[in-house]
Amino acid sequence: MAAAWSALMLMVMFLCVAWDHVEARRAQQPVQVRRMQSRPIVTSLSMSEQEGLLGLLNATELDTRYRTSVDGTSYWDLLGYASGLGPVVLVIRKDQYLFGAYISEGIQMPDGPTDSHRYDSDVLWFSLAGHFPKPTKIDIDRERHFVYVTGAEAEELVNMAIGTELELGFGGHGSQQPADDIRSCLQYIGSDDVPEGYTGAGDGEGDAYLGGSYEFMADEIEVLWVNVEQ
């Protein structure tokens, strides 16, 4: 009887240790892995906007993983749902304007809270509405094909930048920290890269403000995973 009781106690102890190990492994998983298992999100893009984007990217599939209006507007909401996905499309809507960028290397988190991370990535800018008669690619110089992300405690003025063309979480000139809302943006496309036929807002000297002004608060930011044909 004593031997059976001892064996039972050993089994209980083994199961407890195993469970603690599983829970520890779960706690070590990146935030985005846990949160990506949330409910499906319906895209803000109309069917024609989706078709236009698929055509521009030569892509076969889009899948929304993050929307500010659904998932929250903080930088950590964006990272929690949209980092580590692989190729993504970031889409910004402001009034009648709809535009964004394809990022081949996706959104990658920095190593630590005080760190920043700059990495090379193929970047393709595009307009879906408000700037041209039809969906249009906007090519930029290869040297500006990069993404820059910061940690929570990094001494930076923005949370994330795509090349020199877009800053997210822009705290404003004179600010010493990023904005609390990721939708606070600074954006422009230099005149040398603006395609012919552009009818959107600008600085009067050829630079394009795809969001309607140099600094603006986006109505919606959406990140979609994309399957691009090679």
Provide the mean pLDDT of the chain: 85
Chain CA centroid to CA 122, Å: 14
pLDDT tens digits, one per residue of 141-167: 999 999 999 987 788 889 999 999 999
CA distance 12 to 22: 15
CA distance 220 to 155: 26
Q: Is the pLDDT of residue 202 over 90?
A: yes
pLDDT tens digits, one per residue of 70-95: 999 999 999 999 999 999 999 999 99
Taking CA atoms, 107 is separated from 26, 104, 174, in Å, by 22, 9, 27
User: What would you report as the CA-atom Rg of the chain, rounded to the nearest whole angstrom?
Assistant: 22
Whole-model pTM?
Answer: 0.82
Domain boundaries, the chain: 36-228
